Every structure is written in C-alpha cells, then in structure tokens.
Chain A
Amino acid sequence: MNLESPRSVADALRSVDYLPDDRISQVVFLANRLDKPILVEGPAGVGKTELAKSLARITGRDLIRLQCYEGLDEAKALYEWNYKKQLLRIQSDVDHDWGEIEQDIFSEEFLLTRPLLEAIRSEAPVVLLIDEVDRVEVETEALLLEILSDFQVSIPELGTMAARTQPIVVLTSNNTRELSEALKRRCLFLHIDYPDAQREQEILAARVPGLSEHLAAQVARVARSIRSLDLKKAPSVSETIDWARTLLALSIDDVDEEILGDTLHVLLKYQTDIEKAAKELTSSPRA
C-alpha cells in the first residue's frame, strides 16, 4: 500500500482497523520517507504495539518482535554461536587442520540468529518491533544503537553485517525509565495519549462489531469522564473495548448509572479507583 502522504498512511491504517490521529500518520509517513526508527511512548493500552502490527499489515511485511525484559542480553536479542553444533563439528572432523575448522565453525551456518539479526538478515523487508524497550538496562540499550543508526550489526568473528533491506523499526516504551539521549536522538519521537472521545468512538466502532453508534458514544464519553479523575490507573483503550464487548454480550443498549456501577470492574482494576469512579459518576450531577 502506498505511504506517499500522511493522508494515504491514515487511509491505509484505517483500512486495517487502526484509527490514527494526525500526529500518528505524520510520524509514520516521515519514518518511511526518512528511514528512521519511531520511538512510541505512552500509557498502557493506547495502541503502541498495535501500531507496529498494523504497519506490518498495511505493508504486507513480516513482523519481527523483540520483547524486552530486565536482563535481556546480546545472546537473546542479537545472536549467539551455536556451541553444540560447533562442538559436534569439531569432534566429527579429524582430517582438517585447526585453522580451517575454526574458520568454518565461525561462519553464518553456526550462528543462531535472534530477532535483531534476523531483521537485518531478512531477504524481504520487515517491520521490526522492539517492544517495551524501557525494561532493559541502560547498558543493554547500547546494543541497539548501531542497528538504529546504520541498520547494521558487527560480529567480531564475521565482520559487519548490513541490512539486506530497509526495515521499518518501531520501539515502544511505557516510560518507566528515561531512555538514553543517544537512543532518543536516533528516533522520531511519538507520544500517544488516550484518544479524544471522537476517535475512541471510531476505534470502538472498528474493533467491536455490532456495537450501536449510541452505545459507542456513551462508552467513549464515560471513558473520558473517568480518565479526568485522579486515579491510580486510568482505563486504557483495550479496557474500554473490553467494556463495550461486555455490554454487548449482556445485550445492553443503553448505559445508566446502575449498569455502570455493576460493570466498572471491567474498566478499572483497583478497588479504590472503582469506588472513586462510582462515587463521582453515579451521584447526581453537579449543579
């Protein structure tokens, strides 16, 4: 699909049921035009991961995903030598001299590729998703820098391996930790916040088939209203979707205070939040 203007990006994303705002489509357009990675940041469940998946869908590319976690290291992210296979090769070969064997066992054949290298070596262009990058330690971030700036990887035994095709790279972060300046400098920065009521209504319409316009508007407005409260954890888009599905499953076509009170636990996870929202939303309106 063509990504030749922000508008065509927006149309393409909409066609796979991802509802972007102006900012999202502009940044995606730029990333594609300038071959730059996108660093997507924002609260949980606002569609960061989904954006990468949707990009894969609209470009027809494979999605390669590196899920980050504390303790993620080079061997899991980039590559690892296949010791076992190397060992067997050494044991089974008694005829050649060591020099030859050494060269042989440090060739691509004995390499276990992990997501980053896989993305670099792929014949067909891919979308590389580096998900929740804020979970790795600062030291591990350095691993990513070479890939993000030059789309290449250096392996001491093999030299530099450049990307065969240009991947679209998306990094996501929940901002539990400040990322390094070096990493941020290489990326286009995209902060996604909760959608406004209008866009959320559209998201609901796209993601929850069978939902009436009236109910979608109500759900979106309730979500906005709840998010304006001072809560421990505001409802995410995935939670409003869950709530809409719940209402649909219960054959409810109009939300009132009682129904809201009974189903708030789908939207909110903490008891104190549920109590607070119930108190604010189900009492008589402010004068």
Chain B
Amino acid sequence: MLGVITGFIDELRAAGVPVSMVEAIDGMRAVEAIEIGERVALRETLRATLIKNQRHERAFDTAFDVYFSTVPLPDSTPIEEGSRPDLPPPDRGDGSERAPFDIDALLDDLLQALARLDEEAMRRGARTAVDELAGMEPGRPVGGTYYLYRTLRRLDLADLEARLIEALMEDEDLSEFDQRLLREEIETRLERLRQEIEEEIRRRLVADRGRDAVARTLRRPLIEDIDLMHATTRDLQEMEAAIGPLTRKLAARLARRRRKRAGRLDFRRTMRKSLATGGVPAEPQFRHPRPHRPEVWLLCDISGSMATFSRFTLQFTHAMATHFSKLRSFAFVDTIDEVTDFFGAGVDFGSALQRVTTEAEVVWLDGHSDYGNSLETFNTTYGRQLTPRTTVIITGDARNNYRPPRDKVLGEIAEAARALVWLNPEPRAYWDTGDSAMSHYAAHCTSVHEVRTLRQLEQFIEELTLPGTRASQNA
C-alpha cells in the first residue's frame, strides 16, 4: 500500500499539485492511523493531508480513482485486485458459452436502484453494464471515454430518465413546480449513475494497463496552468473563485508603502489617558496612520483576437471593483471607452459583461485592434485626470494589425502616472512577431509581464513592487 501511495503522490506532483515533503510524510503518517481497507476513509485522509487548495481537488479525485479504485467502499463487497475477470475474453463470434444478456432486465434493475436511491444496486448495475455493453478488449489503445460512450449509447439514459420520471411522478399528484424540482433531482441521480459507470471503466483500464499509464492519459492541466487564451467557459467559471483572493492580494500590494510603524504620537490623547495613572504617561497613544488609497486604472483590449482572455480580464476587473474604491476601467478595440460604471457592488458579472459588449463604444473604424488610436484617444480624453497616485495596467497582446504603433503617447501616460504596467497573454517568444508591436510599447512601461495563466498572474502580483507615490517620496 505504501508503494501505491508514493506512486499516487508522484502522480499528483506530475499533475502540478504542489505536495511538499512534509505533507507527503504527514499523509503517510495519517494513513497509519486509519482503517486502511476503506476507500472513503483513505480518500479523505489523503485529501486532508496532501491538498491545501480547493482548486486542486479535481486533480486529486481523478488520480485517487485511478490509484485506489480497488480499495473497497464501506459496506460493499470487496474487489480483489487482479483475480477477477475484469475484461471479458474477446468475442470469438460463436457466442456459445454465455447466456444471452438481457438488457431489459438490467434496465429494470437500474430503474429500481435509481428510484430507491440504492447506491449499492446502482454500482452493481454499472458493473453489469460495463461487462456486457462496453465491449472492452485488453490492450486496445483506446481511452475510457470511448468505452463510456459505447456503454451509454446502449443503455439509452434519456429513455431511462423518462421512465424514472414516470415512476416517481405517478404516485403523487405533483404540482408543476414540484415536477420541475423532481426533474432536477432525477438529473443528479442519473449523473451519479454515469459516474459509477465511468469509475467502473476506469477500474478495468487500470487492471489492464496499470495505474501510471491510465493516470497519465487522464491528466489535465490544473486550473492555474490553463492557457487564458484557450480556456473554456467552464475553466473560466472555475477561475472565478481564485480571482477574488488574488485581487485582494493585489490591492494590499498596491497600498503598501515604505514601512512605517504605527502613526505619530498623539500627545493630547496620551496626556488625557495618563490621568488614570496619576499623570504618568503609561500608555502612549498613537494617531492611526492614514491608509493609502491606491488608484488603479485598467485598460483592457477586448478585440476578437483576445476574446477568451478579455473575458478573463473583465472577470478580473469585476473582482477588482469590489476591492478598490478607486478603480476605473476602460475597454478598447480600435478606440477606447470608459466602462467603470458597469462594474461595482451589487452587479453580477453576467450583466456587467453584457453591458460592456453592447454599450461600450470601442469600435470606431473597422473593429480591428488599433492600439495607437486607442491610446491617443485615451490620453486626450482622460490623460489629464491621471495623477502621481494612479497605477495604469494595460492588458493586451499588442497586436496592432500592422498599423503604426504610435507609442509616443504611452510615454506621456507613463510620465503622468505613478506606474504603467503591461500584461501580455502571449508567450514572450511571440512578442514582436507578425503584427505584435510589444517592444515599442514596452519601452515606455514600468514593467511588462507575460500573463498566460492564473499562475503567472499570481506570480506577477507576488513580485510586484512599484515606485512609492511621488507625494509620499516628497514627504
């Protein structure tokens, strides 16, 4: 078992989950304290000791299924490793020895199991379904999804769903409202069945090919390593949870000033307090240091080439709006418009996004990126409102459709602001290739960063140091 746990930890690391030495040892030690032959106990013990971030739980679950699929579940018949006929012999075509399989009987069993929410029966049904319908062949180099698809097609879940609805709705005289709630309940039960089948297939693949090989094919990048330019909607939704803490960290970074301990001594309050101690100033009172309110302006390229990334940056903007009282945001394609008012407290992201895409005036000519015009328009319209406390952050790929970069204006913006930071979602190696004018713009920036993933965004925030505001330098 210890060997398997080591392999499992290696797999987690290979998938990008940071498991430290200390945590690995903790995990092993914790496993010694539990009933090892029980899957749920083992899973939750390893999870609590090895995973310290909810974002990594999906990778954990996938790998756990592969490495420990043969550990029995509580209250169920044990599954012996290797000794069971995991894979039926390849069909020899004569079909002589096997009793004909009765799919209707299986469907009836499954229907019963789903209606009564009998997990053990569901699992048994899933096992039979995979036995009979998946047509798994040893050594065949196809993935689990292929077998899953084959099994589900024969099972016809849609039909099963219809029968389940009928079965559960017949005895009660349900209102339309209740029917709808029941439908959702049924969907979750079917999803459970689907997962059971998937797990069963995975278990057999593991028996056939070994844990490491199966784990490798199932490995997906962690959410923080997914390329922001190619993230799916679901990825983006998952990222949303991570963005909140990140923006708070950024807010704290930007607010940080040169270290000064508590504020100045408050002489009057100290003296007044000292009356309680016979005039001895026993508790010096300090003025609270005035909090530094950072001003941030975000300029986001929302052109077509940036579709996915700009959704991400707008999510980021949205989260920022809740942490910064002084955030202004702008969107641009070939010209620029302020979108600050679309975000803020009490607004959900969906409607903010909707307003940015329908109301913001970001297209002037042809809807192809024009950084030069956008920046010049920005400077003429808003440039005078920049102050030495403003940090300007531009997000975009600097792909200018071979138009002149007109980067001089960026120098003026940088001059007027506290700092100018550029975040580019393209790999550094692509900068300045084709129509990218990155180095023209980079020349005027305080710093430029490749931000292709959540991890890189985190790193950028972690390492950010900006010049102190000029006001405070003079003081």
Contact = CB atoms under 8 A, between A and B. Distances in A.
B277 A87 contact: yes
Interface residues of B, number: 52
A260 B177 CA distance: 10
B44 A225 contact: no
B465 interface: no
A284 B176 contact: yes
A221 interface: yes
Contact of A231 (B57, B241, B348): B348
A225 B177 CA distance: 12
Nearest to B288: A71
A184 B49 CA distance: 10
A33 interface: yes
A178 to B, nearest CB: 5
Interface in A194-253: 196-197, 218, 221-222, 224-225, 228, 230-232
A216 to B, nearest CB: 13
B13 interface: no
Interface stretch (B27-35, B149-157, B304-312): B27-35
Interface stretch (A51-59, A152-160, A266-274): A266-274
Interface in A253-275: 254-257, 260, 270-273
A190 B181 contact: no
A270 B348 contact: yes
Contact of A84 (B40, B276, B350): B276
B41 A177 contact: no
Interface in B118-162: none
Interface stretch (A20-28, A105-113, A117-125): A20-28
Nearest to B182: A221
- The A interface, classified by DSSP as helix, strand, loop or mixed, is helix
Contacts of A30: 30, 33-34, 45, 48
A286 to B, nearest CB: 8
A270 B245 contact: no
Nearest to B184: A225
Contact of B23 (A185, A191, A284): A185
A177 B29 CA distance: 29
A2 interface: no
Contacts of A132: none
- The B interface, classified by DSSP as helix, strand, loop or mixed, is helix
Interface string B13-46: 0000000101100000110011100001100110
Nearest to A221: B181
A69 interface: no
Nearest to A33: B33
A272 B248 contact: no
Contact of B22 (A185, A196, A272): A185
Interface of B: 20, 22-23, 29-30, 33-35, 40-41, 44-45, 47-49, 51-54, 57, 175-185, 188, 237, 241, 244-246, 248-249, 252, 276-278, 280, 282-283, 346-351
- Can you list the 7 inter-chain pairs with the closest CB atoms, starting with the nearest? A26-B44, A184-B52, A221-B181, A188-B48, A285-B180, A232-B348, A83-B282
Interface of A: 5-6, 22-23, 26-27, 30, 33-34, 39, 41, 83-84, 87-88, 91, 134, 137, 175-178, 181, 184-185, 187-191, 196-197, 218, 221-222, 224-225, 228, 230-232, 254-257, 260, 270-273, 276, 281, 284-285
Given A30-B33, A230-B237, A230-B348, 5 more contacts: A30-B30, A30-B48, A221-B181, A257-B176, A285-B180
7 contacts: A26-B40, A30-B48, A83-B283, A187-B52, A189-B51, A225-B181, A284-B176
